[in-house]
Structure 1
Amino acid sequence: MRRRKIIISLCILLGTCVLLFMLYIFVGQEYVYAKKYADTLLEFDIPEKTEVIERDFDYGVLYGGGPWGSGGYPTVVAYQQVKTNLSERDLFEHYNTKDFEIYFEGTEEVQKNGKDQIWYEGSIKNKRALSAEENNEQAIEAVIQYRKEFSYPFFIDLY
């Protein structure tokens, strides 16, 4: 009788472990990997004379073209809106060290999909067209965005 209780307890414990692992695969794993990629921008040093107005990230396969637009892979989109007294060129050079998209005020357009996920599209200024003049009297605004497709172990896409 005691042996039967031990076997039943082990089966319940094993079943719980399998259930928790499946929950991690279906719910949490994608978020953990997306957050890791988003932190590339969100933890990037902010230059002097600059403040972050808003920052966020989201992920999914529906950024700009539906599930087939990104090959079915999830895409992480992290962005931060900044206000700065630096020149456009200084801000560009600070963030141009990574694969960040830099949109200055008036060159960006907010995009939204059916799941209310937002990202930015627009024209990125040519480096030669950027102003080198500092904005001491009136700060300028810009959107810094990082967009990347990613995959992860046990890739299971529920979309």
Structure 2
Amino acid sequence: MTPLGRDAPQGSDVRPKTRPKQALIRPDQQTELDHLARRLHDDRSTKGERITANTLLRVAIDGLVEHGDRLHGDNEVQLLASWREFLSRAASPAAIGLDTARSGPGDPIAVSALIRIANAGLARHRSVLHGATEAELLASWLRFLDERAEAANG
């Protein structure tokens, strides 16, 4: 297991100590969680670490703990609404400084357009991507972009 725990370095194979914590979830949540874990496990580009429902629960908990200051509300429905609001804002073009950019007269740039742009760049320069983990791939991509920016600035 490669954790994203506070004490483990990114991409580390150090397995953190875990403890059981019981959570009461609805049957539909259990079914969807199991389906999502199975799909992500089957779609892995690097075989090795298993992706299970517990993996996804730990990822969700880490996200909630890291961004817990964004949650507000007096009950589960309100807390979920505030979490969804945070996620939608975090995924918006404004979150990366493109709130005034336009794809045409009066048309805001959609997240799907940014994804297509990123995919095109990655496909064009896929030879610069190195690594077996997301962190390693991201590091190689950012290194490439930094080198290009330095070369452009002379």
Sort the TM-score into its range (normalised by shorter chain). Answer: under 0.3
Q: Which has the higher contact order (CA 8 A, sep 6+)?
A: 1
Looking at secondary structure, tell me which structure has more helix per residue. Answer: 2
Looking at secondary structure, tell me which structure has more strand per residue. Answer: 1
